[in-house]
Amino acid sequence: MEQNNYQGKMQKPLHSGFNAKSTATEVIEGIDLTGKVAIVTGGHTGIGLETTKTLSKAGALVIVAARDTAKAQKNLEGIANVELESLDFMDSDSIDSFAAKFLASGRPLHLLINNAGIMWVPLRRDSRGYESQLVTNYLGQFQLTARLWPALKQANGARVLNVSSYGHQMAPFDFDDPNFLYREYQTLQGYGQSKTACNLFALELDNRAKDFNVRAYSLHPGSVLGTDLGREEPIELFKQIGTHDQDGNLKPEVAALLKTLSQGAATTVWCATSPLLENIGGVYCEDADIAELDLGNIEHKFDEPETIRGVQPYSLDQDNAKRLWDLTERLLGVSFEICE
């Protein structure tokens, strides 16, 4: 019987033995990645940097794709088994150049970790008129994955990870107006639909690619302290959701509940390496396990990070996934054929 995660039918925790406090080092213990090749977009900062360090220490060659290569070079100093390459998701030619250079090396690609992302930004558009969060958080990862498909297939045992977010709960994908051409721009709506798209992409990619021994996953890192993700967020929004006081300072009781960078990278590393996922794909994960389907049974409180969990059924819907794949190919002018 064919297995897939359409409608969330495989979306059940595995009781992995890990939890929200588990670190990247703990989830990879005993796993040797010698001879494996990984690409981590945005692997030079925040949880991306922690992911790079962890995979490198386990023996993998990690290619870090970064927009700001000067910053990346500084942050990656002293880390073994790392190569740095330039990649800007807001520039489709940059994606093609990066992928072409990697394919020309002839190396297989065992792990593609689509980690780069932005959030809480004002309305910006790329040269095609596409909204920046949709481009950076989703369209870029689709194009990159499509271009790198030959190397993923060559690995004969690859995994593709889309670093998504609980933020997918903020909005389903708007098929009528994904680029905010006709509706008022709301930054969290843009972020939410871009992360919903990440989930749908992993769902559909896994179903199409599993016959070639390529599996795909989406994941929520958790509420993490010390990332750059909220650098453009208006402080008033933090106050409204209850995480900051009236002076704009993070409340100590909230800070104490947030994950460290190593805890934030744990789910990425677990999805990339866990033997428990050997015959499972297309699932959305959190806290180093498969997440629970959110059917309205989870009470979410933004000042209690442990309640920020679960996955919305609309982001695991078969029709939505197939429709988004077709739309994405049209938007990008890219044909992503999963074939020999």
Contacts of 205 (CB under 8 A, 6+ apart): 145, 160, 214, 216, 282
Q: Specify the DSSP class assigned to residue 19.
A: -
> Which residue out of 6, 130, 138, 191 is catalytically annotated?
191
Sign of CA dihedral 293, 55, 216, 91: positive
CB 146 within 8 A of CB 336: yes
Q: What's the Cα-to-Cα distance from 206 to each of 20, 58, 188, 329, rounded to whole Å?
A: 25, 25, 27, 17
Cα–Cα distance measured from residue 47 to residue 254, given in angstroms and rounded to the nearest whole number? 19
Instruction: Report which residue type is found at 116.
Output: A
CB 23 within 8 A of CB 295: no
289-290 and 284-286 as β-strands: parallel, antiparallel, unpaired? antiparallel
Q: How many C-alpha atoms does 336 have within 13 Å on its Cβ side? A: 25
In this structure, the chain runs to a length of 340
Q: Is 74 buried (19+), middle (13-18) or exposed (0-12) by CB count in 10 A?
A: exposed
CB 51 within 8 A of CB 117: no
How many contiguous H segments (helices) and E segments (strands) does the chain have?
A: 12, 8
Following DSSP, what letter does each residue of 173-219 receive, concatenated?
Answer: --SS-TT-SSS---HHHHHHHHHHHHHHHHHHHHHHHGGGTEEEEEE
Annotation marks residue 191 as catalytic: yes
Q: In what order do the strands lie in the sheet with 37-41?
A: 82-86, 61-66, 37-41, 111-114, 158-163, 214-220, 284-286, 289-290
Q: Which residues are annotated as catalytic? A: 191
